[in-house]
Amino acid sequence: MKQFDVVRITKDYPAEGIIKGQIGTIIEVYVNNHFEIEICDNNGRTLFLGALSKDFLEVVY
């Protein structure tokens, strides 16, 4: 996974309001397989901006 890849969330993360299937973009790549992800709604408003581990992500394109 690399910066600006589009990813799909593979597991719910209720503490952050993240739902399996949401689509986001990798904004930054960190060590230990962690990534800064931004998830936006259809109007471009940010729903989530934070770090997630690779376990929560799969590359869409």
For residue 38 the two structure tokens come to: 């931004």
pLDDT digits (tens, 9 = 90+) for 3-45: 999 999 999 999 989 999 999 999 999 999 999 999 999 999 9
Q: If one looks up domain 6-59 in CATH, what number appears?
A: 2.30.30
pLDDT of residue 1: 95
Q: What is the pTM of this model?
A: 0.89
Q: What is the pLDDT of residue 4?
A: 97
Give the distance from CA 22 to its chain's centroid.
8
Structure token pair of residue 13: 């993360």
> What residues have CB less than 8 Å from 12, skipping those under 6 apart?
18, 19, 20
pLDDT of residue 61: 81
Q: What is the distance between the alpha carbons of residues 19 and 3, in angstroms, rounded to a whole number? A: 22
Q: How far apart are CA 29 and CA 40, in angstroms?
A: 19
The residues spanned by each domain of the chain are 6-59
